[in-house]
Chains A and B, each alone.
Chain A
Amino acid sequence: MKRRQRDAVLLSVIENLGAEGSWCGETHIQKATYFVQELLKVPLEFDFILYKHGPFSFDLSEEITAMQADYLLGLESRPYPYGPSIVFGESSEMIKEQFPKTLEKYNPAVEFVADKFGDKGVAELERISTALYVTLTGVVGGSVESRAQRIHELKPHVDIGEARDAVKIVDGIIEEAYEVQVT
Chain B
Amino acid sequence: MAKRIHEIRDPIHNFIRLDSGEREVLDSSPFQRLRYIHQLALTYLVYPGATHRRFEHSLGVMELAGRVYDIVTEPDNIHESIRTIVPLHISHEHQYWRRVLRMAALCHDVGHLPFSHAAEKDLLPDGWDHERLTIEIIQSCEMESIWKGLKIQPDDVAKLAVGPKKYKDATFNDWEIILSEIIVGDAFGVDRMDYLLRDSHHAGVAYGKFDYYRLIDTIRILPREHEDSTEPALGIEEGGLHSAESMLLARYFMYMQLYFHHVRRIYDIHLKDFLKAWLSDGYLPVALDDHLQLTDNEVTTELQKAARDENHPGHDPARRIVNREHFRLLYHRNPDDLRKNPDAAEAIFDAACKKFGGGNVRHDSYEQKKSVLDFPILDNDGRIVSSQAKSVTLKNVPIVAVDYIFISPKYRKTAEDWLKQNRETIITQKEEDEL
Q: Which residues of A contact B (CB under 8 A)?
A: 2, 4-5, 25-27, 47, 49-53, 58, 61-62, 64-66, 68-72, 75, 77-84, 86, 90-91, 94-95, 98-102, 121-123, 126, 154-157
Contacts and interface: CB of A to CB of B under 8 A. Distances in A.
Contacts of A126: 229, 231
Contacts of B385: 80-82
A66 B390 CA distance: 24
A50 B389 CA distance: 27
B386 interface: yes
B228 A123 contact: yes
A77 B395 contact: yes
Interface in B258-284: none
B259 to A, nearest CB: 16
A157 B168 CA distance: 22
A77 B396 CA distance: 11
A102 to B, nearest CB: 7
Interface in B125-184: 164-165, 168, 171-174, 177
Contact of A4 (B223, B227, B343): B343
B165 A78 contact: no
Contacts, number: 140
A66 B370 CA distance: 8
Given A4-B342, A102-B432, 19 more contacts: A5-B432, A47-B168, A51-B177, A52-B231, A53-B227, A58-B369, A65-B369, A68-B371, A69-B371, A69-B400, A71-B338, A71-B342, A75-B372, A77-B389, A82-B386, A82-B389, A83-B372, A83-B387, A95-B342
A122 B384 CA distance: 16
6 contacts: A4-B435, A64-B371, A70-B338, A84-B389, A99-B432, A157-B223
A53 to B, nearest CB: 6
Residue among A50, A66, A102, A121 with most chain B CB within 10 A: A66
B231 A155 contact: yes
Contacts of A62: 367, 369-370
B227 A83 contact: yes
Given A82-B389, A101-B432, A26 B372 contact: yes
Residue among A50, A81, A123 with the most chain B CB within 10 A?
A81
A71 B401 CA distance: 12
Contacts of A154: 171, 173
B388 interface: yes
A49 B384 CA distance: 27
Nearest to A70: B342
B229, B386, B390: residue with the most chain A Cβ atoms closer than 10 Å: B229
Nearest to A25: B227
A82 B226 contact: yes
B217 interface: no
B389 A122 contact: no
Nearest to B169: A49
B230 interface: yes
Given A70-B342, A71-B342, A98 B431 contact: yes
A155 B379 CA distance: 26
B386 A66 contact: no
Contacts of A5: 432, 435
A80 B399 contact: no
A72 B367 CA distance: 14
Contacts of A68: 371, 399
B226 to A, nearest CB: 5
Given A49-B168, A81-B384, A81-B386, A26 B432 contact: no
Nearest to B343: A4
A149 B226 CA distance: 27
A78 B401 CA distance: 26
A71 B339 contact: yes
Interface in B235-254: none
Contacts of B173: 154, 156
Given A4-B343, A122-B228, A51 B429 contact: no
Given A51-B177, A82-B386, A83-B389, A65 B230 contact: no
B388 A65 contact: no
A68 B401 CA distance: 10
A51 B170 CA distance: 11
A72 B342 contact: yes
Interface string B325-353: 00000000001001100110000000000
Contacts of B425: none
Please indicate which of the listed interface residues A27, A98, A155 has the most CB atoms of chain B within 10 Å of its own CB. A98
A27 B227 CA distance: 9
B374 interface: yes
B339 A58 contact: no
B432 A98 contact: yes
B231 A53 contact: yes
B165 A58 contact: yes
B383 interface: yes
Contacts of B370: 61-62, 65
A125 B431 CA distance: 36
B177 A157 contact: no
Those 10 A-B pairs whose CB atoms lie nearest each other, nearest first: A81-B385, A83-B386, A69-B401, A70-B342, A65-B371, A66-B367, A83-B374, A69-B399, A157-B230, A122-B227
